[in-house]
Amino acid sequence: MKMLKINDHLPQVSAIGLGCMRLTGLQDEKEAGALIDVCTEAGINFFDHADIYAKGEAEAVFGRLMAGREREKMVIQTKCAIRPGCFDFSKDYILSSVDASLRRLQTEYIDILLLHRPDALMEPEEVAEAFRMLKKEGKVRSFGVSNHNPMQIELLNSCLDEPVCVNQIQFSIAHCPSIDAGFNVNIHNDAGCVREGSVIEYCRLKKIRLQAWSPFQYGMFEGVFIGNAKFPELNRVMERLAGKYGVSTNAIATAWILRHPAGIQTIVGSVNAGRVRDICKAGDMTLTREEWYELYLAAGKQLP
């Protein structure tokens, strides 16, 4: 498994992490525990949560599974700020959310706390004070964001004691507007519209680790492209490459993300232990340049 560095405050993390949103969908906690064991055996040490996943129950299940496991060998990330009808970066809400996550996760500290989606009413000074308190009290080691553009990060960083270290964005072969815009510079077409502020290039320049959520989805929760009749050419190419490398098409889709030189950590949300085990094979393979471009074009994209 490839390992990545986020910052000097954290151990290296696996290039593939487990997204824990669906833990509560398993039949029982014994099955969930077996999934965590498979992840550990495959080299995954990174587990991604959010306070809203199953209304907190996903964190609670994971917390109960922590018994008897070595906490220091796990890197646990969670998110906060999504409330019914609004996003909330207020100091009080951040602090209370972290305390609740710590109780559910049954841990003394969170390795990384992400602000889940941008809050238009953000006061960066207030966020900075919340982060300062959490760091001083040993409740959170490092901080990041999710679904933020470069200027939103710049505004936040202007008040923080240390810059955010992670930005988690939706990213896959079939959903990569930042890649599309990069190819279509100075061209008057839809693909050339920069909707996210060149976030990949920005994060590379600022040493912010990008994380990809929904690596097998297209559109905004429109569905999975693997095995989907809407993507016949993409699936044909993935199947051929899967045969070449002796892996699944899910692993090929993951390897496409990992091939990018930004070192994009891939957050996989599957709770199928066998599927996760096979996806992890992507952490030990590297697609060629030609294969990466072939997959991009097979997804229906065009090069100028």
pLDDT at 28: 86
Judging by beta carbons within 10 Å of its beta carbon (0-12, 13-18, 19+), is residue 30 exposed, middle or buried? exposed
- pTM, two decimals, is 0.95
Q: Residue 119: its pLDDT value, please?
A: 98
Specify the residue for token string 């405050």: 9
Model pLDDT, residue 243? 98
Q: What is the pLDDT of residue 188?
A: 87
- pLDDT per residue, tens digit, the chain (304 aa), is 999 999 999 999 999 999 999 999 987 889 999 999 999 999 999 999 999 999 999 999 999 999 889 999 999 999 999 999 999 999 999 999 999 999 999 999 999 999 999 999 999 999 999 999 999 999 999 999 999 999 999 999 999 999 999 999 999 999 999 999 999 998 988 888 888 899 999 999 999 999 999 999 998 888 999 999 999 999 999 999 999 999 999 999 999 999 999 999 999 999 999 999 999 999 999 999 999 999 999 999 999 9
Q: Report yes or no: 195 and 184 within 8 Å, Cβ to Cβ.
A: no
Q: Which two tokens stand for residue 180?
A: 């599309």
Write out the E strands in the chain.
3-4, 13-14, 16-19, 46-48, 75-80, 82-83, 86-87, 110-115, 140-146, 166-170, 209-213, 217-218, 223-224, 265-268
Residue 16 near residue 255 (C-beta atoms within 8 A): no
* In 116-154, beta strands by DSSP E: 140-146
Q: Three-state DSSP class for 257?
A: helix
Which candidate in 53, 93, 202, 218 is catalytic? 53
Query: 163 Cβ partners below 8 Å, 6+ apart?
Result: 157, 206, 208
Contact 282, 247 (CB under 8 A): yes
Which overall architecture, per CATH, does domain 3-298 show?
A: Alpha-Beta Barrel (3.20)
Q: Are the CB atoms for 224 and 238 separated by under 8 Å?
A: no
Break the chain into its structural domains and give their ranges.
3-298
Q: How far apart are CA 23 and CA 229, in angstroms?
A: 28
DSSP 8-state secondary structure symbol assigned to residue 26:
S
Catalytic residue flag (residue 245): no
Burial class (CB in 10 A: 0-12, 13-18, 19+), 25: exposed
What residues pair up with 82 in beta bridges, in sequence order?
Answer: 87
Q: What tokens appear for 23 in the block?
A: 């833990």
DSSP 161: S
Rounded Cα distance, 93 and 98, in Å: 9
pLDDT for the residue 24: 93
